[in-house]
Amino acid sequence: MPDIRQHELTQVSYCLGIIIEAVNNYHIRSLLIDCSNSVVEVEDRTYNAIATKFATALRATRLKKLAWVIAPKARLYSALRQELSPPIKLVGFSGKAEAMEWLLQLEPA
């Protein structure tokens, strides 16, 4: 996940757009996003706008499960959790191994 700084908002939007495009083009149903090292340096209003736009775009995809490796102050995770639930299951994890384990669990039929 890209760092989110005021002077880099265009780049952030571009990066999130690439994620959405890949999810759409490759019919991705499970996704792991690692924000454990991301830096966030924008106002809450700007941050929430980014989260809402990203969540709206994700909801329009076939994504079913989103594993989020979160940083201690992961505001985007909290904002997305409200926007995505349902139809996308969003779960936060402290490490990649447990996130992958959850993503690879088979869903009951």
Per residue in 15-57, pLDDT (tens digit) is: 999 999 999 999 999 999 998 888 878 887 888 888 889 989 9
The answer to the question of residue 20 being in a domain is: yes
* Per-residue confidence (pLDDT) for residue 49, from 0 to 100: 87
pLDDT score at 4:
64
Residue 80 counted as domain residue: yes
72, part of any domain = yes
Q: Three-state DSSP class for 34?
A: strand
Report yes or no on 74 lying in a domain.
yes
Number of domains in the chain: 1
Region of 27 on the Ramachandran plot (φ > 0 left; ψ -120 to 50 alpha; else beta): left
Which residue would you say has higher pLDDT here, 87 or 64?
Answer: 64
Q: Which domain holds residue 99?
A: 4-104
Rounded Cα–Cα distance for residues 23 and 93 (Å)? 21
pLDDT level of residue 65 (50, 70, 90 thresholds): very high
Instruction: Write down the pLDDT at residue 68.
Output: 86
Q: In this structure, is residue 49 part of a structural domain? A: yes
Digit-coded pLDDT (tens) for 70-108: 865 556 666 677 777 778 888 888 899 999 999 999 776
Question: Does 64 map to a domain?
Answer: yes
Residue 68 resides in a domain = yes
Cα angle value 102/77/70 (rounded, 5°): 60
Task: Give pLDDT, residue 77.
Answer: 65
- Choose among 46, 61, 41, 36: nearest CA to 13: 46
Higher pLDDT, 78 or 3: 78
Whether residue 109 is contained in a domain is answered as no
